[in-house]
C-alpha cells in the first residue's frame, strides 16, 4: 500500500467575511445616497440669474426696449443725419458742423508807374562835360611810343556826377586805357534833362593820346 499524500496547509483569506460584508454595505449605502441626490436635483434644477437669485418658474427676462426710429436701421448705434434735415444738422456735434470758407483775397494790382514828363525842345538827351581835366600821358606808353584813342562809356547821375564807367573801346595799350578811365572818373557833367528835370543818362567819351602833341 502507498502512503497517503500529505495535505497542503490552506492559506487564510486576505479579508475576513465580516470586512467584506461591511464593505458591501457601505457601497450600497453610497449608491443609495447618490440616487437620492440625483433625483432631487432633477426636479429642482433651474437657471439662475446673474445676481445669484433663482429664477421663478415661467419667468422670462424682459426684452430690450425698441430703438428710436432714427436708430432702428443703424446697427452700430450711430445717428444717420438726413441731407435735408435742419434739425439733424443743428443736433450734430460742433466739430462736424459745416464751416463757411472765406473767399480768396484777390491780390491788389500795383499802382501804375508815375508817368514821366513829356520831352520838350530844351531837353538834353546826352550829358555834356563841364569840368574835364586832361588825362596824364603814361610814362610807360611814352617809352613804348604808344598812342591812340580810348572810348569810355559813362553813366552820369542826375546831379552830374559819374555813377559808373567802363571801357567801351580800348586803344590797344593797357596803360593808355587805365589813364583814360582814371581821368574821366574825376569829370563833372551837365546832366541830361527830360521835361525840364535832370535825369540820369549815358554818354561815350573819346580820349585821344597823341605823341605829336606832347
CA 115 – CA 195 distance, rounded (Å): 11
Q: Quick one: CATH architecture of 128-213?
A: 2-Layer Sandwich (3.30)
Confidence tier at 112 by pLDDT (50, 70, 90): low
154 closest CA partner among 175, 181, 123: 181
Q: How confident is the model at residue 163 (pLDDT cuts 50, 70, 90)?
A: very high
Q: Please say if the pLDDT value at position 119 is more than 70.
A: no
pLDDT, greater one: 173 or 40 = 173
pLDDT of 81:
47
> Residue 67's pLDDT band (boundaries 50, 70, 90)?
low
Q: Is the pLDDT of residue 162 over 80?
A: yes
Say yes or no to pLDDT of 160 above 60: yes
What pLDDT is stored for residue 205 in this prediction?
95
Q: What is the domain partition of the chain in residue ranges?
A: 128-213
Res. 34 pLDDT band, cuts 50 70 90:
confident
Amino acid at each position: 500500500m502507498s502512503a497517503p499524500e500529505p495535505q497542503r496547509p490552506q492559506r487564510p483569506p486576505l479579508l475576513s467575511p465580516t470586512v467584506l460584508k461591511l464593505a458591501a454595505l457601505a457601497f450600497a449605502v453610497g449608491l443609495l445616497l447618490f440616487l437620492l441626490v440625483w433625483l432631487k436635483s432633477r426636479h429642482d434644477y433651474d437657471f439662475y440669474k446673474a445676481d445669484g437669485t433663482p429664477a421663478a418658474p415661467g419667468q422670462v427676462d424682459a426684452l430690450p426696449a425698441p430703438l428710436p426710429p432714427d436708430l432702428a436701421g443703424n446697427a452700430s448705434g450711430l445717428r444717420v443725419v438726413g441731407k435735408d434735415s435742419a434739425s439733424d444738422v443743428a443736433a450734430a456735434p460742433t466739430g462736424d458742423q459745416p464751416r463757411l470758407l472765406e473767399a480768396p483775397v484777390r491780390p491788389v494790382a500795383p499802382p501804375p508807374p508815375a508817368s514821366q514828363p513829356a520831352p520838350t525842345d530844351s531837353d538834353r538827351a546826352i550829358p555834356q562835360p563841364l569840368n574835364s581835366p586832361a588825362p596824364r600821358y603814361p610814362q610807360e606808353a611814352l617809352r613804348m611810343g604808344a598812342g591812340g584813342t580810348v572810348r569810355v562809356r559813362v553813366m552820369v547821375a542826375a546831379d552830374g556826377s559819374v555813377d559808373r564807367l567802363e571801357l567801351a573801346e580800348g586803344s590797344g595799350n593797357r596803360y593808355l586805357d587805365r589813364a583814360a578811365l582814371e581821368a574821366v572818373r574825376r569829370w563833372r557833367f551837365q546832366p541830361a534833362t527830360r521835361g525840364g528835370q535832370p535825369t540820369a543818362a549815358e554818354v561815350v567819351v573819346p580820349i585821344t593820346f597823341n605823341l605829336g602833341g606832347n
